[in-house]
Structure 1
Amino acid sequence: MEKKENAFRFDKKSFLIAAAIFIIEVLIALYITDNFIRPYVGDVLVVILIYYFVKAFVHIGVWPLAIATLLFSYLIETLQYFHIVKLIGLGDNKFANIVIGNSFAWEDIMAYTIGITIVVLIETYSIKRKTASNERLL
């Protein structure tokens, strides 16, 4: 009988990547007020952060997790279009406005897509490199 792999496990490397990106995001939010890094690079990084944070705790393939992360990000952005923060009565809550956001932008959708593309490229390259390394050992 085949041993079933547990879907939940802790991946230290993914957690450290997520933590590092979180720190970068906080630094961007606190110290950068430009019109490029804060709005665009921050949005590219946030989907990478979400991907690696989930990957730190859930064993799932690259594509399913990448698609789920991207769809989640699109959902949050769509909810911003409908001003969800105000609709749920948190319009005056600064934390809710920062975490959920309060304005829809197509540029954000593009940034999320770029971020997930970067993740897929990195993960695919990493998997190919591991596979090649393992084949050399055989």
Structure 2
Amino acid sequence: MFRLHKTYLLAATLLLLLEIYIAGAVHDAIIRPYAGDLLAVIFLFCFASSFLTAPPRRVLLAVLGIAYLLEGLQYVHLLALLGLEHSRLARLVLGSRFAWGDMLAYSLGAVFLLAVAALHRRLRPPVA
């Protein structure tokens, strides 16, 4: 059930660095809020796939479910309920406000991963 997949781990590391850069240095209305959320789903997929041997679609569904759950927790103001609304780290990691656009960005990240997987299957030579 567990194994180390170095390619996914490298991709997850690079995506994490990109996410940190976006969170710290990009303050616009498109890249930070939406591209960051799209990349978050791809990062979580790569990170989970670094260690799990589960089928990719199952991993993707779990990751997308987690993203939707976290966004739903923002809808019910989880940080305020936990007294963490003033914690910059908590707001950065968990988010602080619900937005349908974020749900769309998560979904587009999943669609991107499905498209990459389909392309990979098409380009892979048949097994003899």
Equivalenced residue count is 128
**1:113, 1:63 → 2: CA distance?**
14
Asked if 1:33 corresponds to 2:36, the answer is no
Match of 2:118 among 102, 116, 124: 124
Deviation at 1:128, TM superposition (A): 3.5
**1:120, 1:20 → 2: CA distance?**
20
**1:9, 1:120 → 2: CA distance?**
22
Match of 2:10 among 7, 12, 16: 16
Extract structure 1 runs of 4+ deviating beyond 6 A.
none
Q: What fraction of aligned residue pairs are identical, expressed as a percent?
A: 33
TM-score by length of 1: 0.88
> Larger deviation: 89-98 or 71-80?
89-98
Asked if 1:82 corresponds to 2:76, the answer is yes
Deviation at 1:134, TM superposition (A): 4.4
Q: Which residue of 2 aligns with 1:43?
A: 37
Structure 1 segment 96-111 matched on structure 2, within 5 A:
96-111=90-105
**2:34, 2:98 → 1: CA distance?**
13
Deviation at 1:125, TM superposition (A): 2.0
Match of 1:94 among 88, 91, 95: 88
> Larger deviation: 100-109 or 121-130?
121-130
Unpaired stretches in structure 2, ≥5 consecutive residues: none
TM-score by length of 2: 0.94
Please tell me the root mean square deviation across aligned C-alpha atoms, in Å.
1.1
**2:85, 2:91 → 1: CA distance?**
7
Unpaired stretches in structure 1, ≥5 consecutive residues: 1-6
